[in-house]
Amino acid sequence: MKYFTMRKLLQLFSFQRNQIVSKHANYSVRGQDSNFIRLHGIDVVRDPRTNRGTAFTLNERQLLGIHGLLPPSVLTLDQQVSKMMANLKNMNDNLQRYVYLTSLQDRNEALFYKLVIEHVEYCMPLIYTPTVGLACQRYGVVFRRPRGLYITVHDRHHIPAILNNWPEPIVKAIVFTDGERILGLGDLGAYGMGIPIGKLSLYTALAGVHPKHCLPILLDVGTDNQELLNDPVYTGIRHKRIRDERYDELIENFMQAVTERYGNHCLVQFEDFGNHNAFRLLERYQDSYCTFNDDIQGTAAVAVAGLLAAGRITKRKLTDNIYLFVGAGEAATGIAQLLATSLQLNGLDEKEALSKMYMFDKDGLLTHSRQEGSLTDHNKVFARDDTENICKLEDAVKLLKPTVIIGMLFLLIYYL
């Protein structure tokens, strides 16, 4: 199943962007998109999937029954993109730009994706990290229109009925979160919905997955963030986070329901789950479903790919380095696991591979002499017994002399 998941990822992220996204942006009234057959009149411009704003020609406006519903001037999508960029650059802060872009996405998908694709370096930090983190913290204020599905722990016995409410019959990629560990911001509960929405926008803009085949989902099991529970505009259920068997029942029923509804080929991506759930849920489902955990496996794939690419430049093999991880959570452990596998593929045995890696967290260097309970089941394999516990990162660097430092607040790789 792991192989199948990777194959599905390759299919989703194949080089079809120009074909799929351009087909979505450069629409035809009588083309492939069935929305143009179903909708007529004011519904055409109210639906973000079919709306093209003032890009509709006079002939198209007459055919679609929208003549007179738009200003008479015809502006091409290219002209509209220039206008949008000018508006963005005139704004005062990135949160304002985020709200502007999500509003555009909610009314004109073709223009939104054309804008993001043509100005990807400018737009990516606005629709995803780092701006999406601030947007999630203030989600109750910036929320304008629902996107995706919200499934609460109280809905766990009728998830298929909720999935049936989603208007698109074919879904190829689902990104879902329970909101417990949103970026580096902690438990944001239902405010974490900004993450699946933003991530799937990148699926479309960067990989060409059609937006109608993407489904963001928030599993709401409550929040332990008292500030959110006191927030009058909080969008989630108002009780402490459920952590008993009801949580596992929700996840189990959810995985079964989405597979029954959308088939085994639908990719189901875990996003921003807490450490205690992320690893155990991945281990439970990765061999039986088309699924992966982005924080553990996705970040690891990017990091190890970066190390391999850097090695071609420095002429230094993976096996030549000493690695120091600053952080010992999901991302760091995922990278270390994949790096250990890569080192073994390059000729080292498991013990030799592990000897190349050190982990350092808020309590210092990971060692077996630490107080019981300070190591997790997944990072304790990287704990050392050949050095003392060092509490300062500077001292660890001086003693261990790493040639690569991997920092996990944001993924940073330093070659020394």
**Residues with catalytic function:** 128, 199
Q: Tell me whether residue 295 is annotated as binding.
A: yes
**CA-to-CA distance for 358 and 12, rounded, in angstroms?**
35
3-state secondary structure of 360: strand
Q: Tell me whether residue 7 is annotated as binding.
A: no
**CA-to-CA distance for 310 and 356, rounded, in angstroms?**
17
Which residue, 74, 38, 31, is CA-closest to 56? 74
The DSSP element (H or E) to which 83 belongs, if any, is helix 77-89
Which residue, 73, 74, 99, 72, is CA-closest to 87? 99
* 220 bridge partner residues: 152
In the numeric block, which tokens belong to residue 340?
């250990």
Q: Tell me whether residue 246 is annotated as binding.
A: no
The answer to whether the bond into 130 is cis (omega within 30° of 0) is: yes
CA angle 357, 360, 365 (to 5 degrees): 90
Q: Give the pairing type, strands 412-415 and 404-407.
A: antiparallel
| 227 burial via Cβ count (<10 Å: 0-12, 13-18, 19+) | exposed
Are the C-beta atoms of residues 382 and 333 closer than 8 Å to each other? Answer: yes
Q: Which residues of 4-32 are buried (b: 16+ CB within 10 A; e: fewer)?
A: ebeebbeebeeeebeebbebbbebeeeee
Instruction: Give the largest CA-CA distance in the chain.
Output: 78
**CA-to-CA distance for 35 and 29, rounded, in angstroms?**
9
Q: Tell me whether residue 363 is annotated as binding.
A: no
Residues 6+ apart with CB under 8 A from 327: 359, 360, 361, 406, 407, 408, 409
Instruction: Enumerate the known binding-site residues.
Output: 181, 271-272, 295
Residues that constitute the known binding site for (S)-malate: 181
Residue set of the binding site for a divalent metal cation: 271-272, 295
